[in-house]
Structure 1
């Protein structure tokens, strides 16, 4: 493996230190006798001075090199994480107040959405509600605690009458299309038949298919008659059972590579979302930090040993004045 240098600028500091050390601590280099013919030199001591000086220079060379922080890359640490972008598209038309789920379909749906989100702590989750009109409750977010705070406060009755599945699905697809995440999912939960909107559910599904977005569809409700609160306090009105457009929901999921589920009670809805959670486990590798073997300390130690040997030689062998 090739050596990398983490701080080449410090090499200049090392060179400056070498020059200063040579000039101030080895005046022997300034002695003219050293550079005269050998018969004019002061014998063996001058030769030892020169050797000690060269050893010191080598020591400073090692120290200067260590200041570049040389190191060898040993590979990267990697971790596997599961990442998806998920839009929950939830029907909030009046029929979702039906009491065949306790306390009603809408409240159960909200509680199960929170449970589902808690199972996906690393995913980004967004929420769209729809009746006649569409509303983005939350854009894609990784803040699971925010989702858990917002979902219980979602109310009904502000988006008009009707069931606009096509436009709601289309909006989720549009928002996911601009997301950089590779794996994109829509979970569509409804108890009715699309009867308003600019897009049909199939048209929205075709766009989802073209963008590689999976759509899981969930029909919520029973085959039996159920009650919803009337506009008169304390009174109820009956709604027919089996009003889910199973054929269209099945076609949407089939076209996009998802799956259709029919949730007929609280527990089955929980099982449905748990099944989707198990299906959509996408592992990706997340590059971690590069691992290095640091070499600088070896050169630093060698340099100090050379300097120490040079200084001991100068003071105690050559006996130059301090």
Structure 2
């Protein structure tokens, strides 16, 4: 992840001239020291006519010492300014949608005419293997699961825990909801689930291989109710309607999707179903948003450590010079 160098408190460097202002504006520090007593000092004063007065000796710092102290000051300001490496804000999945899978598990889904990896398997087994992958890729969506046949049952309520939804899908099998296909009742059950949730964006994915055999509510009437609740109903027809073993009602599925401003897809094998899910990912993409938190690497300890090192080095050098001077004086007196 690329990182940019930033200084959190740039205003700190306005303090750079502070030592110069202190030197100019504040008076020198006055320290009293012992004076030298001279015999007959008064007579000398009377003889010369000079009056006794206070005086001060201002010690001047060497150029290199001033530069050294200024470098330390700059380093301390650099530490206070909080230099840092700031990475780009991370993207997190924005949970803003309920995605409901409504799957047909009537007896017709047990037919072995579905091609999966070159082998013929039951329609339900083929569909289930692809739906597993689809669920795994919908990170960020709150997903729910309804199975229907003669009746419709909520298998998993809306949850961000996609692993649980996946496990509930794996546990389902053909015939658990009855042998007939009641598309209208399945859509109404989905509407009821959406009504119990507060998220506004609602997407329903209806998979079926049959024709509606219900009498309670017609599929198009149920689709009209979904449209009023702003629910997008994408429909997927399982199987080939031109084959002898299919009674897929594509016209009704197309009308359901058109009525709810969605789309209809036909899936005749696992490869095509995977392609459909890729198209769905484009139509209903997972949304991301930037996190307010930006990963930061603080660097203040580098100038601070260097400043402390220079202070210690200066103290050691001054102490060394003092010791050498004392040794020199001692040798001179000896």
TM bracket (short chain): 0.5 to 0.7
Does 2:214 match 1:195?
A: yes
Task: Select which of 74, 83, 88 maps to 1:71.
Answer: 83
Task: Select which of 99, 119, 122 maps to 1:86.
Answer: 99
User: Deviations 1:119-162 (Å, cap 9, x if unpaired)?
Assistant: x2635443210123322223345655555544332134443464
Any conservation in 2 of the 1:85–1:123 contact (CA below 8 Å)? no
Q: Distance in 1 between matches of 2:128 and 2:313?
A: 77
User: Deviations 1:59-79 (Å, cap 9, x if unpaired)?
Assistant: 58965983x671357562455
2:290 alignment partner in structure 1: 287
* TM-fit CA distance, 1:117: 3.6
Aligned residues between the structures = 269
Task: Select which of 151, 162, 175 maps to 1:133.
Answer: 151
User: Deviations 1:251-288 (Å, cap 9, x if unpaired)?
Assistant: 1111223222344x4x2x54044223234232644426
Q: Distance in 2 between matches of 1:59 and 1:308?
A: 11
Structure index of larger Rg = 2
Higher RCO structure, 1 or 2 (CA under 8 Å, sep 6+)? 1
User: CA distance change for structure 1 residues 205 and 290 in 2, over 3 Å: closer, same or farther?
Assistant: same
1:20 alignment partner in structure 2: none
1:113 alignment partner in structure 2: 131
CA root-mean-square deviation? 4.7
1:122 alignment partner in structure 2: 139
SS of 2:294's partner is strand
2:177 alignment partner in structure 1: 159
SS of 1:280's partner is helix
1:4 alignment partner in structure 2: 8
Any conservation in 2 of the 1:59–1:305 contact (CA below 8 Å)? no
Q: Distance in 2 between matches of 1:85 and 1:212?
A: 12
1:277 alignment partner in structure 2: 278
User: CA distance change for structure 1 residues 274 and 140 in 2, over 3 Å: closer, same or farther?
Assistant: farther
Moved more, 253-262 or 153-162: 153-162
SS of 2:212's partner is coil
Any conservation in 1 of the 2:149–2:180 contact (CA below 8 Å)? yes
SS of 2:147's partner is strand
- Please report the TM-score for the alignment, with normalisation by the length of structure 1: 0.60
The runs of 5 or more residues in structure 1 that have no matched partner are 6-28, 227-240
Task: Select which of 248, 253, 263 maps to 2:252.
Answer: 248
The runs of 5 or more residues in structure 2 that have no matched partner are 10-28, 34-52, 115-119, 327-334
- Please report the TM-score for the alignment, with normalisation by the length of structure 2: 0.59
